[in-house]
Amino acid sequence: QMCIRDRDKTQRIRRTPNELKEATLRAVSELSKEKGLSRITMVDIGEKAGIRVDVLKRNYTSVEKILSLYAASVDYWISDLFTPKHPMATINEKVMTEVFTNLANALYNDSEMQKLLFWELSEDNPTTRRLAANRELFYADVFTRYNDLFKDTGLHIDIISALINAGIYYLILHRKRSTFWGVDFSKRPERKRFIEAIGQVITLVFNTLEQQKQTVEIARKLKLKGVALDVIAECTGLSNEFVKQL
């Protein structure tokens, strides 16, 4: 009887809204390590946080609402990538390299971010769909700017960026399962090579962009000198239509 009274007393602790939120999110964080986000129930959260289920329901309605709140508290990393040091309005090789290498380092170091991605990939529900959609909205402006920069280069910069981003996700989330292409991404030396390789890929992409600019400039000079358009197109690899527009 004493144990029951003590437990009831613990469950009836009066908390401020912020204290209730902190206790709830802390419980979700601990439960995510024990059983994964997809298996957490309202009862689990109540037991872990020492909060009655009816109190949780009154404040948060459902476990989905709690998980959505937790996801928002963890999914801060995308916004952190775009600091005043490299605002979204700036697009160049250095910025793109910083964004993706910062993403990789952040994901390597944050187990909660990793669990959030695992959940997002394994569960199809309104919360996981909203998480994915919100990221797209956050850097939609970046897509437009990079697509404009690489217009007419033949490089699909949006898909190249997606491949780099997805590669970062997969290789870090997969690293404890096995090696990948013979590389153990869980080892610190390979992690360093991984970060370096991200920069190498981006450098190759921007080198191609510079080469394309030089080719276009050569084509423009040849056109000014009266060289036939079909000859310019053949020698430069540019399309006849593009040469006409120079």
What pLDDT score does 183 carry? 97
The rounded percent of the chain whose pLDDT value lies above 90 is 46
pLDDT digits (tens, 9 = 90+) for 29-68: 999 888 888 889 999 999 999 999 999 999 999 898 898 8
Residues 46, 17: Cα–Cα separation, whole Å: 15
Give me the mean pLDDT over the 163-191 stretch.
96
- Number of residues written out for the chain: 246
Q: What backbone phi and psi angles, to 5 degrees, belong to 180?
A: -135, 120
What pLDDT score does 4 carry? 46
- Is residue 6 predicted with pLDDT exceeding 50? no
pLDDT band at residue 123 using 50, 70 and 90 as cut-offs: confident
Q: Which residue has the higher pLDDT, 194 or 142?
A: 194
Residues 53, 33: Cα–Cα separation, whole Å: 21
Residues 194, 10: Cα–Cα separation, whole Å: 49
Residues 221, 63: Cα–Cα separation, whole Å: 65
If you compute the radius of gyration of the chain from its CA atoms, what whole number of angstroms results?
26
pLDDT band at residue 127 using 50, 70 and 90 as cut-offs: confident
Average pLDDT for the chain: 86
What pLDDT score does 85 carry? 58
Sign of the C-alpha dihedral computed for residues 42, 48, 54 and 60 taken in this order = negative
pLDDT digits (tens, 9 = 90+) for 194-220: 999 999 999 999 999 999 889 989 998
Give me the mean pLDDT over the 67-76 stretch.
81
